[in-house]
Amino acid sequence: MDDLTKMEQQIVAQKSRNLTLEFPVLDAGGNPLNLAGFKATFTVDDKSGAMQFNRRNTAAGGSDAEIKFTNASGGVLQVYLVPSNTASMTPGPEFLWDLTLEKADYGIVTVAGGQFLLIETVT
């Protein structure tokens, strides 16, 4: 599955707040990848590689409340972050995120990633 377009993006999130992230998954030709049957995992690690939290779709052992394929045939999924995901994290730019897909006949591939910047909650 090396023929996918990998998206690099900085995510800015407020500590202890809900956040919905939407991702299109495209092949190298810019066409949507049919996500049916894929496991999806969104992970945030600190820069030393220690996992801070992850979100998974139902096929990966999570639920639609974590990651949902909102248009599977059109290659679109949403990741839902909730306050408890970032509540124990210290705000700053010391985090990295990635989104991986897995399917038996494809293996595991990172389709998106980048810096995860956590800021203090603004009221």
Question: pLDDT digit string (tens) for 107-118?
Answer: 899 999 999 999
Contact status, residue 69 vs residue 57, Cβ threshold 8 Å: yes
Half-sphere exposure of 103 (CA within 13 A, CB side): 10
Judged against a pLDDT cut of 70, whether residue 3 lies above it is answered with: no
Residue 106 confidence (pLDDT)? 83
d(CA 68, CA 106): 20
d(CA 1, CA 88): 35
Average pLDDT taken over every residue of the chain: 94
For the residues 10-30, what does the mean pLDDT come to? 94
Min mean pLDDT across 4-8, 42-46, 92-96, 107-111 is at 4-8
Residue-wise pLDDT for 39-80, tens only, equals 999 999 999 999 999 999 999 999 999 999 999 999 999 999
What three-state secondary structure class fits 58?
A: helix
Domain boundaries, the chain: 7-119
d(CA 80, CA 4): 23
What three-state secondary structure class fits 37?
A: coil
Q: Pull the structure tokens for residue 119.
A: 């800021």
Structural domain 7-119, CATH architecture = Sandwich (2.60)
First to last CA, the chain: 43
